[in-house]
Amino acid sequence: MHNYKIGVIGLGYVGLPLAVALSSKFNVVGFDINKDRINQLLSHQDKTREVSESDLKNSEALITNDIHDLKDCNIFIITVPTPIDDFNNPNLNPLKSATMQISKILKCNDIVVYESTVYPGATEEVCVPILEQGSQLRFNQDFFVGYSPERINPGDKSKHLAEIVKVVSGSTKEALETINFIYSSVITAGTYLAPSIRVAESAKVIENIQRDVNIALINELSILFNHLDIDTYDVLEAAGTKWNFLPFKPGLVGGHCIGVDPYYLTHKAVSVGYHPEIILAGRKINDGMANYVANQLVHSMIQKGIQIKNSKILIMGLSFKEDCPDLRNTKVMDLYLSLKNFHADVEIFDPVCDPDEAFELYGLNLLSEPQDSFYDSVVLAVKHSVFQNLSVQDVRSYCKPIHFIYDLKNTFNSVNVDGRL
C-alpha cells in the first residue's frame, strides 16, 4: 500500500485541475499564497473556469494558504507561473520562491516534481541548489526531483487533464517509477517516460515554439497577401485541401505559454554561445502583429474619411484566446496601446473576463455593454462563443453610420465585414 500525501503548490490553470484529479486517488493538499484565490476556491468557485463548482464541492483536496499544512506531504508538485520580464528574459522568481518554501519543510525521501515551464537544465541547475541549501539535505541521496511539463490548454473543454498524455521524468529510476505511478493513477491517456529531466524540459518548450514559428509564418504571409490584395483565409482554405498542409491561422500570439516559452529556450541558447535565428524571427513577427493591425485599421478608417484623433474604437475581446478568461500576456493590450498612440478613444468589451482582474493587471475599466450607434470602428479581437452568436448586424448596431469593422479572428464571412487579417 502506497502512502503518498501530495502537495500541489500553485492553484491556477494548471495546479487546480491537477489537485482535484489527484484527490480522487490520494491525500492531497492544494496550496496557494493568494488568500483571495483560496477563499474563492473554498466557496467552490473557480474564476479560471477550468474546474466546475460540482467538482470543487466533491473534491477531497485540502485547499489552504498555510504552508504548515504541507509539512506531512512526501510528494510536492510545483505548478507556479514562469513569466518573462520587460526585457523578455526568464523570470524565475515565482519558481525560486516556491522552491524555497518547500525546502524548509523537505524531509528525507521526499520528491519534488516541477510542472512549470523552464529552459533545459533549470530544474537541476536552479531549483535543486535551493532545495539543498534550504533543507540541508543531499540531492539524490536524501531527496529527489522530477519534471512533468503541464499541457493544459486553457478554455479547451475537448481535452481535459486526464485525456492528455503526460511526459514524466525523474532524477533516479526509483523516483521516476514513483512519479509515473502517481500520474498514471489519474491520466487515462497514459504517460511517456522521458530519459532525463532535461529532455522533458526541452520537450515542453519546443511544443510551443513549434506552434509559435508556424503561426509567425502565416502572419508574415498574411502581411504579404495584404500587399497583394489577396484574402489570406481564401488562400489558406485552398491550400488546406492538400492532406499535409498544416491548419494554422493568422492572429495575435500571446498568453502565458506560446508568447513566453521561446524566450526561455533562446535565453539558454545564448548562455551556451548559440544565437538562434528562426525562433527569434518568429517571435519578432508575432510580437509586431498588434502594431500592424492597428496601422491597418487606422489606414482603413482614414480611407473612409473617419478622423482618427478622438475617434471611438471598440475592441471586442481582451483575453489571450477564445472562451478563456486568462489575461496574462494578452497581445490585445498591445493593440489597445497602439491605437491609443493614435489618440483614439478606445474601449474594450469582454464578458468572459473578470473586470477586477483587468483593472488590477492593466488599469482597464471594461465595458459592461457597448453603446449603440457610438463607435467609428469595431475590432473583433477574440473569437469568444458569445461573439460568434452575434450577427454582423448586431455588431454594426454599435457603430455610427460611417464606420469600419475589422475582423481579426475571421469571426464572420469576409463579405460581411470591412476588413480582416
- What is the pLDDT confidence band of residue 1, given thresholds at 50, 70 and 90? very low
Q: Tell me: do 176 and 239 sit in the same domain.
A: no
Helix/strand number for the chain, H first, E second:
16, 13
How many whole angstroms separate alpha carbon 267 and alpha carbon 262?
A: 9
For residue 75, is it within any domain? yes
Q: Which domain holds residue 340?
A: 214-420
User: Contact at 8 Å (CB) between 12 and 79?
Assistant: yes
* pLDDT value of residue 6: 98
> Which of 143, 70, 69, 81 lies closest to 112, judged by CA?
143
For residue 220, is it within any domain? yes
The percentage of residues in the chain with a pLDDT greater than 70, rounded to a whole number, is: 100
* pLDDT value of residue 255: 85
Q: Tell me: do 249 and 113 sit in the same domain.
A: no
DSSP secondary structure string for all residues of 315-336: EE--SSSTT----TT-THHHHH
Quote the pTM value.
0.93
Handedness of CA 254, 258, 264, 268 (dihedral sign): negative
For residue 401, is it within any domain? yes
Q: Tell me: do 234 and 364 sit in the same domain.
A: yes
Last residue of a domain, one of 196, 222, 257: 196
How many whole angstroms separate alpha carbon 103 and alpha carbon 389?
A: 50
281-314 pLDDT per residue, tens: 999 999 999 999 999 999 999 999 999 999 999 9
Q: How many domains does the chain have?
A: 2
User: Contact at 8 Å (CB) between 251 and 409?
Assistant: yes
Last residue of a domain, one of 163, 196, 229: 196
Arithmetic mean of pLDDT over the chain: 96
Integer distance in angstroms from the first to the last C-alpha of the chain?
A: 58
Catalytic residues: 257
Last residue of a domain, one of 162, 196, 230: 196
Q: Tell me: do 146 and 176 sit in the same domain.
A: yes
170-182 pLDDT per residue, tens: 999 999 999 999 9
Q: Tell me: do 151 and 225 sit in the same domain.
A: no
242-287 pLDDT per residue, tens: 999 999 999 999 888 888 999 999 999 999 999 999 999 999 999 9
Q: Tell me: do 117 and 53 sit in the same domain.
A: yes
CB atoms within 10 A of CB 108: 11
Q: Tell me: do 313 and 372 sit in the same domain.
A: yes
Q: Tell me: do 240 and 308 sit in the same domain.
A: yes
Q: Which residue has the cell 467552490?
A: 44
Q: Residue 333's domain is classified under what CATH number?
A: 3.40.50.720
For residue 209, is it within any domain? no
For residue 90, is it within any domain? yes
For residue 37, is it within any domain? yes
And the C-alpha cell for 171? 532524477
- What is the pLDDT confidence band of residue 210, given thresholds at 50, 70 and 90? very high
Q: Tell me: do 184 and 35 sit in the same domain.
A: yes
CB atoms within 10 A of CB 315: 25
And the C-alpha cell for 245? 498542409
For residue 205, is it within any domain? no
Q: Tell me: do 225 and 302 sit in the same domain.
A: yes
> Which of 243, 224, 261, 253 lies closest to 91, judged by CA?
261
Q: Tell me: do 186 and 230 sit in the same domain.
A: no
DSSP secondary structure string for all residues of 8-54: EE--STTHHHHHHHHTTTSEEEEE-S-HHHHHHHHTT--TTSSS-HH
For residue 223, is it within any domain? yes
How many whole angstroms separate alpha carbon 306 and alpha carbon 260?
A: 37
Q: Tell me: do 261 and 317 sit in the same domain.
A: yes
**Helix ranges (DSSP H) in 228-331:** 232-239, 261-271, 278-287, 289-303
